[in-house]
Homo-oligomer: A and B are copies of this chain.
Amino acid sequence: MAATGTDEGTGRAPERPLFAILMAGGSGTRFWPASRAARPKQLVAVSGERTLLQSALDRVRPLVPPERVLVVTAKAHARAVARQLPEIPKKNLLVEPVGRNTAACAGLATCEALARDPNALLALFPADHVIADTPEWRRLLVSAARVVSERDTVVTFGLPANRPETGFGYIRAGAPVAERLAPGMREVAGFVEKPDLETARRFVSSGEWLWNSGVFVVRARRLRELIDEHQPKIGAGLARIERATGAAARRRALAEVYPELPAVSLDGGVMERVPGMVLMPARVGWSDVGSWSALDEVLPVDAAGNVARGPVLALDASGCVLYSSGALIAALGVKDLIVVQTEDAVLVCPKDRAQDVRQVVDRLKQMKKERLL
Contact = CB atoms under 8 A, between A and B. Distances in A.
Contact of A332 (B326, B359, B367): B359
A348 B344 contact: no
Interface residues of A, number: 37
A339 B343 CA distance: 15
A116 B364 CA distance: 57
Copies in the complex: 2
A32 B333 CA distance: 15
The dominant DSSP class at the A interface is mixed
A330 interface: yes
Interface in A303-350: 313, 315-316, 324, 326-334, 337, 339, 341-350
A326 to B, nearest CB: 8
B330 A347 contact: yes
Interface centre among A327, A332, A353, A367 (most CB of B within 10 A): A332
Interface centre among A315, A346, A360 (most CB of B within 10 A): A346
A343 B327 contact: yes
B346 A332 contact: no
A327 B347 contact: no
Interface string A227-250: 000000000000000000000000
A33 interface: yes
Given A313-B364, A333-B350, A344 B327 contact: yes
Interface of A: 32-33, 313, 315-316, 324, 326-334, 337, 339, 341-350, 353, 356-357, 359-360, 363-364, 367, 369, 372
Given A313-B363, A327-B343, 6 more contacts: A313-B364, A328-B344, A329-B346, A331-B349, A332-B356, A346-B346
